[in-house]
Amino acid sequence: MIKLLTSTPSKYQATAFKMNYWKPGSNYNLLILKSISKVVSDGDFVVISEKAVSIAKNLIIDEGKVKPGLAAKLLSKVWMQLVWGFVLGKVCHMTRKTRQRLRNYPLKEGAAHKQICLTYAGFFQSLRHGSEGGIDVTNLPYSFAALPLKNPHLEANRLQKQIHLETGRKVSVMIVDTDKTYRLGNRNYTPLPKAIQGIVSGGGIFTYILCRVLRCKRRATPIGYAGESCSIETILNISETANRIRGVGAGRSPWHMAERFGVDLTGVTWEMLERIDHYPVVVVKRLD
């Protein structure tokens, strides 16, 4: 099953492919090829969700088995509930409901999550309110978190070569994180530690706060790219076009997922996620 979106302002046409949820061990290479083989043409952009690939490659960790230290507990209680809940959330123009959720940030689960962030992403990335260092807990069951790909550029290159080998089509492959890249002046910045060339990465909380305060234009972040040479603006527009048609799966945050299924924050199961429509692969064509 596919869904089609024609984006007139940016002159792109995007086709998203509905697939079963990619669990650890899923043969995502075969699934990608099977879904796009009859649709893809020379010059197309194949945009793939980083988190879907991370889960399929079993780059996940169970936060329920983590013992948080003092720093993680302080981040959970003081930094998240008080600083983000009452100060930074408002400064960054977050909704009232989001700020309320941050004020009720779960101490036990939150401290375990922050410990993972401190271990894998470092202190300054851990100061963010979510997606710290590209670590993601949305669209995952129980207390699992997905770690970012170690080398997304290499993954994009490998997939591009495989698609060309199997289909004969010369396409560009993009691996995208839903976390945003912000346009500030004539440059693009992302809080994430990794992004493609042309995007200034690694700013963590400082980039996030500055760009949110200034209400900078934001688009999904391409973290791996292999294909034709084109401007960073074109790549970002394609990335965001694919992100919009892909949707949010089970929810934008653990709170949304829990509300959707009527469970607590760690009560979502694999079976629940498998009932949701997932679109990890999008083919984008330029209408011009």
Distance CA 187, CA 77 (A): 35
> Do residues 63 and 144 touch, judged by C-beta distance below 8 A?
yes
pLDDT tens digits, one per residue of 53-89? 999 999 999 999 999 999 999 999 999 999 999 999 9
Which amino acid is present at 61? I
pTM of structure: 0.93
Class of domain 2-60+153-286: alpha beta
Which band of pLDDT confidence, cut at 50, 70 and 90, is reported for residue 18?
Answer: very high
Which class for 239: exposed (0-12), middle (13-18), buried (19 or more C-beta within 10 A)?
A: buried
**Tokens found for residue 121:** 């992403």
pLDDT at position 3 = 55
pLDDT at position 287 = 84
List the domain boundaries for the chain. 2-60+153-286, 61-146
pLDDT tens digits, one per residue of 172-214? 999 999 999 999 999 999 999 999 999 999 999 999 999 999 9
Q: CA geometry: angle at 49 spanning 155 and 212, to 5°?
A: 115
- Dihedrals phi, psi of 164, to nearest 5 degrees: -65, -40
CB-side neighbour CA atoms (13 Å) of 72: 22
For residue 204, the surrounding DSSP H or E stretch is helix 204-213
> 63: which residues sit within 8 A by CB, 6+ positions away?
109, 112, 113, 115, 116, 137, 143, 144, 145
